[in-house]
Amino acid sequence: MEQIEPSGEEPADRLKRLKQRIEEEIGPQCGLEDLYQDEFWDSRVAQLSKAGEFFHLGNFTLGYIDKGDANDYILIPGQKTTVITVDSKCPRDKILRVISE
């Protein structure tokens, strides 16, 4: 999976590059709504990683959250959690495949 964090690149540039890659591989109508880093999710991602370690599943690397709203969320852990907001009707499997390559 592409590292979203430490490099000489600015976070905004990395996020822009990730968005561009998703839209190039799936198309501009892929349901991508927003892409940002949000510390709000950091503690939840840390808890998921701890649960993964406890159950010998490894660290949390990527997650898709469907809360039943109009938008769903894809979480990518890092120094700050990257959040991708997508339309609930997006091609979820395709987006997750592109992100994890």
Report the CATH number at residue 71.
3.30.450.30
Domain membership flag for residue 23: yes
Domain membership flag for residue 2: no
Report the pLDDT averaged over residues 31-48.
91
Please state which of the ranges 1-5, 20-24, 74-78 shows the lowest mean pLDDT. 1-5
Domain membership flag for residue 1: no
* pLDDT value of position 59: 82
Residue 34's domain comprises 11-100
Report the pLDDT averaged over residues 59-87.
91
Report the pLDDT averaged over residues 34-38.
92
A 10 A CB-CB count for 12 gives 10
Domains in the chain, number? 1
Does 2 score more than 50 pLDDT?
A: no
Are 80 and 37 contacting, i.e. CB atoms less than 8 angstroms apart?
yes
Domain membership flag for residue 77: yes
A 10 A CB-CB count for 77 gives 21
Report the pLDDT averaged over residues 36-40.
92
Separation of alpha carbons 70 and 68, rounded Å: 7
User: What is the reported pTM?
Assistant: 0.80
Domain membership flag for residue 70: yes
Separation of alpha carbons 51 and 70, rounded Å: 28
In percent, how much of the chain has pLDDT > 90?
48
Domain membership flag for residue 3: no
Report the pLDDT averaged over residues 57-61.
86
* pLDDT value of position 3: 44
